[in-house]
Structure 1
Amino acid sequence: MKVKDGILTSKLCRPTSFGVVNNTWRIFTYKELHAATNGFSDDNKLGEGGFGSVYWGRTSDGLQIAVKKLKAMNSKAEMEFAVEVEVLGRVRHKNLLGLRGYCVGDDQRLIVYDYMPNLSLLSHLHGQFAVDVQLNWQRRMNIAIGSAEGILYLHREVTPHIIHRDIKASNVLLNSEFEPLVADFGFAKLIPEGVSHMTTRVKGTLGYLAPEYAMWGKVSESCDVYSFGILLLELVTGRKPIEKLPGGLKRTITEWAEPLIAKGKLRDLVDPKLRGNFDENQVKQAINVAALCVQSEAEKRPNMKEVVNLLKGFEYEEKKVTVTRIDSIKYDEELLALDQLSDKDHDDATASYGVFSAIEVQKMKDPYKRMG
């Protein structure tokens, strides 16, 4: 897709529905969006990131929308805008945030989504709603399964296949029924038929990055599987992918979880905010799936079809043995220094909508010392 003279020149694909969702989109005028958001008022701002800001709005026909307004129009921003609109126009699944519309002006690029009243998974695990504990165990498992089904659709059902590259808690939005919708396709890669992997510039969010992607820029469906494994651990434990320790040290969620999994202390892994209200068999299965997903070697990870089946309780022969330990990846200090997500970024309630660009990580020579 290209943007020329204010018009997106490629025709967006309209595939048949999968997961049954009504996802019609249209081109908005800047005047319409300006009026809907009360002039992009600060009172309407849902969040802000490196790309610009997201605003709540209401259209003239009463539809609640979220408007992503790009801050700077450089080649990088233009490309991410084009990619996201292209991908959003392709996806048709109940667990993916589809395109409501977009606006292209001389110096304006805006993307319009449906507004999600329960904001993002991040806001409920670590942000403004964390103390309310609205995510009980059953909701967490529904979010895990729904998110996995959305990613599976990207990998298998849409053509060309799509690798998301930025699966994380702030990119899983929640509707009024707490159903998950995976969002933010600015970093997505469209993979031609018959291609298993590509080498590309590394983009994503530290803590969720698969080792082969962070080291060599080798991106494949397995990278999304790894990121989903971290997300699943986050859902079960209520912990952040990277947490700060006293003295300025940082520890990944896999480093924290590894000894508990090895000792079989699975109850100690569960988010204490649940106060013991969870299904132990489901916890065991979820931890098993997460451990499989975050294996350091990509070929040892399941694909998303297998992940969905395992989460739903359907075993398949090769994965019947429960994983009793995980290959915890320890980030090199040089790579950790690139972690631009401050505590404010993690905890700020304004960052909880989730339709944000993530940090960009430069390729490192060997950030994972243990990988040899």
Structure 2
Amino acid sequence: MFPDQWSTRANYLADIEHFPNFSHGVPDTWTSNRFSLRDVDVFTNGFAYDNLIGNGYYGVVYRGVLLDGTTVAVKRLPTNSCQTEGFVTEAEAIGHVRHKNLVKLLGYCMEQGYRMLVYEYVNNSNLHQWLHGPLGQESPLTWTARMNIIHGIAKGLAYLHEDIEPHTVHQNLKANNILLDHLWNPKISDAALSRLLGPDHTHGTTPSLVKLGYAAEEHGSTSRWDKKSDVYSFGILVMELVSGRMPVDHHHQPQIYLIDWLKSMVANKKIADVVDPKMPEIPSVKELKRITLIAFRCVDPDLDHRPKMGEVIHMLEPRDLLLNDERRIRREASLRNHAKGSRVDV
């Protein structure tokens, strides 16, 4: 553990959202908003193909518009993804998960065999598109934006791992599941969804993450997934943001894994050459080494050496800020001790 984590921890706990009550429309706090199938059909214009956003292992996502004009994202889960009682219980629990770096659940629908979740709509695409798609080619992410994204993902993941009950493992952390707003604030999608779908569905994502490079090879033969597995995925995301490279280059034979390439570059003292060449600004070598070292800590083959996400947040703070915190804490402690010593009993 790091000695001065409490000041850093207080900063990210401040990101947990507390809102007043809402009526209809986008909720600012959870009030068990259950939509009918007819409601969702109207939102999505009959699940029109033009409103299709994406299709993945966890279901199909459509864009929708509430009656007040608010845009939402509707995720239609796999048929019979969970039992009726279990779905309602877990959907209600997920609704209470509130953090600025997690996509908010606004409501749910359970009717005629359909299981759907209604989320806030995050309107600036996802991290994969900004790093590897046409968006990133036209307007590459700056180093400042990338660091903001790294910090935000760490805070959202730490909240899931350490600050809600029960502690929650994401199990599907990858660039496609990091949505961005127009201020480059990341929002992790599918947060706590593993609790709702259960092991039969979530275990199926593990082989996919191994193939994509977001999970260690140790998961190729086992379905076990825990917080340290999420930390590994986070470390790969950091490498991806720094280098602009895919976690696995499937176009090259044999396949090139980002983690192996980065280790090779560092070993050959070419750390300055690992930066995404599309970036308009280049960080200092010192800063680059610091962030790269954190990424390597997160993917350490020894699970006991991988940090907790709360520790990662502390490591991400610039060293000079940490030193200032340490000096402030020592100064405050010294003043308290001096005050105690100056008291005179009457």
Stretches of structure 1 lacking an aligned partner (at least 5 in a row): 1-15, 191-199, 318-372
Aligned counterpart in structure 2 of residue 19 of structure 1, from 16, 19, 41: 16
Task: Mark the CA change 1:218 to 1:134 in structure 2 (over 3 Å): closer, same or farther.
Answer: same
Between 1:172-181 and 1:85-94, the stretch displaced more is 85-94
Check conservation: 1:52, 1:69, Cα contact below 8 A.
yes
Structure 1 CA distance for aligned equivalents of residues 86 and 286 of structure 2: 41
Q: Among all aligned residue pairs of Structure 1 and Structure 2, give the percentage whose two residues are the same amino acid.
A: 36
Task: Mark the CA change 1:219 to 1:226 in structure 2 (over 3 Å): closer, same or farther.
Answer: same
Match of 1:242 in 2: 248
Match of 2:279 in 1: 274
Match of 2:60 in 1: 53
Does residue 180 of the first structure (1) align with residue 186 of the second (2)? yes
Backbone CA RMSD of aligned residues = 2.9
Does residue 258 of the first structure (1) align with residue 263 of the second (2)? yes
The CA deviation string for residues 310-346 of structure 1, in whole angstroms up to 9 with x for no partner, is: 11124999xxxxxxxxxxxxxxxxxxxxxxxxxxxxx
Structure 2 CA distance for aligned equivalents of residues 310 and 120 of structure 1: 25
TM-score if structure 1 supplies the norm length?
Answer: 0.71
Task: Mark the CA change 1:135 to 1:39 in structure 2 (over 3 Å): closer, same or farther.
Answer: same
SS at match of 1:163: coil
Q: Give the alignment of 1:1-372 within 5 angstroms.
A: 19-22=16-19, 23-25=28-30, 26-70=33-77, 72-75=78-81, 85=91, 88-185=94-191, 188=194, 201=203, 203-204=205-206, 205-206=209-210, 207-247=213-253, 249-314=254-319
Structure 2 CA distance for aligned equivalents of residues 79 and 231 of structure 1: 36
Task: Mark the CA change 1:74 to 1:20 in structure 2 (over 3 Å): closer, same or farther.
Answer: closer
Check conservation: 2:161, 2:227, Cα contact below 8 A.
yes
Structure 1 CA distance for aligned equivalents of residues 128 and 89 of structure 2: 24
Between 1:164-173 and 1:201-210, the stretch displaced more is 201-210
Check conservation: 2:102, 2:191, Cα contact below 8 A.
no
Structure 2 CA distance for aligned equivalents of residues 83 and 127 of structure 1: 38
SS at match of 1:209: coil
The CA deviation string for residues 162-196 of structure 1, in whole angstroms up to 9 with x for no partner, is: 11111111111112322111111366359xxxxxx
Check conservation: 2:29, 2:96, Cα contact below 8 A.
no
Check conservation: 1:21, 1:94, Cα contact below 8 A.
no
The CA deviation string for residues 51-107 of structure 1, in whole angstroms up to 9 with x for no partner, is: 44211121111211011123x413569899679735522311111112111111112
Check conservation: 1:80, 1:186, Cα contact below 8 A.
no
Larger Rg: 2
Check conservation: 2:142, 2:281, Cα contact below 8 A.
no
> Shift of residue 245 of structure 1?
3.6
Flag the structure with higher helix content: 2
Structure 1 CA distance for aligned equivalents of residues 181 and 281 of structure 2: 26
Task: Mark the CA change 1:253 to 1:84 in structure 2 (over 3 Å): closer, same or farther.
Answer: farther
Stretches of structure 2 lacking an aligned partner (at least 5 in a row): 1-12, 20-27, 197-201, 324-346
Structure 2 CA distance for aligned equivalents of residues 177 and 103 of structure 1: 31
Higher relative contact order (CA 8 A, sep 6+): 1
Structure 2 CA distance for aligned equivalents of residues 179 and 215 of structure 1: 35
